[in-house]
């Protein structure tokens, strides 16, 4: 019972850092898309054609269409797109149009010496790991065997790539680190 309770508490502790990370990433990615396709990028046919539309599984294009049908402003669509949409924006298919010219602009604190491809791949891998981890939490699954410190480090690293002030604030309010030490 103590482990069950702790699992619930650590899951709750992760919600704030995961939310901050998600908002920071989607806003940065949206900024890059807007720089390329304009403020009304959700309706830009050039952008639409860059999105995959598989017959099976998650379709970023269908996700965008669904949100466009519900909302009339970019600002309303951004938070409604699934985290998988934002993660998929960090795939190689967008390197030439978005990331080669804009990655270091929207993520100014990327580790020096990394190429665009290296940084983008690392970001994608971390974002996918965190997306799956967040889904485990959302489905009330146990996370006590997950690499908790690694996940917290990925969150802070991704946020730091965008903004030093935001990551400092995140570190000042997060309770994950203290909660990990209390594991029964």
How many domains does the chain fold into?
1
Question: Within a 10 A sphere around the Cβ of 42, how many other Cβ atoms?
Answer: 22
Residue 120, in any domain of the structure: yes
Residue 58, in any domain of the structure: no
The residues, ordered by sequence, that sit 6+ positions from 24 with a Cβ below 8 Å of its Cβ are 158, 159, 162, 163, 166
Q: How far apart are CA 15 and CA 48, in angstroms?
A: 31
Q: How far apart are CA 166 and CA 163, in angstroms?
A: 5
Residue 53, in any domain of the structure: no
- Domain extent, residue 172, equals 2-39+90-180
Residue 125, in any domain of the structure: yes
Residue 144, in any domain of the structure: yes
Residue 75, in any domain of the structure: no
Residue 114, in any domain of the structure: yes
* CA 27 to each of CA 3, 90, 113, 145, 177: distance values in angstroms, whole numbers, following the listed order: 36, 13, 24, 31, 26
Residue 106, in any domain of the structure: yes
- What does each of the 184 residues of the chain score in pLDDT, given as a tens digit? 999 999 999 999 999 999 999 999 999 999 999 999 999 999 999 999 999 999 999 999 999 999 999 999 999 999 999 999 999 999 999 999 999 999 999 999 999 999 999 999 999 999 999 999 999 999 999 999 999 999 999 999 999 999 999 999 999 999 999 999 999 9
């Amino acid at each position: 019972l103590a482990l069950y309770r702790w699992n619930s508490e650590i899951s709750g502790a992760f919600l704030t850092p995961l939310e901050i990370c998600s908002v920071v990433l989607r806003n940065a990615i949206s900024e890059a898309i807007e720089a390329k396709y304009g403020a009304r990028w959700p309706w830009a046919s050039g952008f639409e054609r860059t999105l995959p539309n598989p017959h099976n599984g998650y379709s970023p294009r269908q996700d965008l269409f669904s949100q466009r049908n519900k909302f009339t402003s970019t600002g309303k669509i951004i938070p409604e797109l699934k985290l998988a949409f934002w993660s998929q924006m960090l795939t190689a298919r967008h390197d030439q149009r978005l990331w080669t010219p804009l990655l270091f602009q929207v993520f100014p604190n990327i580790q020096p010496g990394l190429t665009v491809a290296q940084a983008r791949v690392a970001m994608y891998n971390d974002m996918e790991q965190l997306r799956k981890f967040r889904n485990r939490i959302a489905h009330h699954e146990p996370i006590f065997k997950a690499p908790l410190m690694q996940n917290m480090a990925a969150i802070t690293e991704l946020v730091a790539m965008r903004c030093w002030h935001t990551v400092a604030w995140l570190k000042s309010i997060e309770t994950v680190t203290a909660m990990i030490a209390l594991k029964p």
